[in-house]
């Protein structure tokens, strides 16, 4: 049976983009799935366009999949 994918989480609040990429590489992460409803940030390196570009340059794929994140309203 093939290995199951491992799912990790990471926060970026007090980290630089270089720190985040270092941590991802150290854990052998090959894809980041961004689950934020709106992939924007007050920290420009973590807004969707710059984040995806930085990850791509580091050899890490990026996907924005808001449906996997926190819902905006509860039933």
pLDDT score of 74: 60
Indicate whether 73 belongs to any domain.
no
Indicate whether 55 belongs to any domain.
yes
Rounded-to-10 torsion of CA 56, 6, 28, 46:
40
pLDDT score of 2: 66
pTM for this model (two decimals): 0.84
Indicate whether 1 belongs to any domain.
no
Nearest to 22 by CA among 71, 67, 58: 58
Taking the chain (75 residues) in runs of 10, the rounded mean pLDDT of each run is 81 94 96 93 96 98 92 66
Indicate whether 33 belongs to any domain.
yes
- Domain that residue 33 falls in: 17-68
Which position has the token pair 């199951």?
4
pLDDT score of 39: 93
pLDDT score of 23: 96
Indicate whether 64 belongs to any domain.
yes
Nearest to 13 by CA among 55, 52, 46, 39: 46
Structural domains in the chain (count): 1
């Amino acid at each position: 049976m093939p290995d199951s994918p491992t799912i990790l989480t990471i926060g970026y609040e007090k980290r630089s983009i270089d720190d985040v990429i270092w941590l991802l590489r150290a854990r052998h992460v090959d894809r980041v799935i961004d689950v934020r409803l709106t992939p924007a940030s007050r920290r420009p390196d973590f807004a969707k366009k710059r984040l995806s570009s930085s990850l791509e340059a580091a050899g890490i794929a990026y996907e924005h999949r808001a449906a996997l994140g926190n819902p905006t309203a509860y039933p």
